[in-house]
């Protein structure tokens, strides 16, 4: 599974499980510059 597709599934699960209003993704994953050891930067509003 492509990383972006996996992140989309993960974000939907987080929205439902934790009643999240909004989730933003930023950093290297958004820019397509992620490396093997990159983290995923999230901004979450509850």
Task: Give per-residue pLDDT as tens, 4-41.
Answer: 788 788 888 888 899 888 888 899 988 989 898 999 89
Looking at residue 30, its pLDDT comes to 85
CA–CA distance, 37 with 30 (Å, rounded to integer): 15
What pLDDT score does 1 carry? 59
Q: What is the DSSP letter of 36?
A: T
In total, the chain counts a number of residues equal to: 46
Question: According to the model, what pLDDT value does residue 27 have?
Answer: 93
Residue 44 clears pLDDT 70, i.e. is over it: yes
């Amino acid at each position: 599974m492509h990383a972006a597709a996996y992140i989309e599934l993960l974000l939907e699960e987080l929205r439902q499980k934790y009643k999240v209003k909004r989730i933003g993704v930023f950093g290297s994953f958004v820019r397509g510059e992620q490396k093997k050891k990159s983290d995923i930067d999230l901004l979450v509003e509850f």
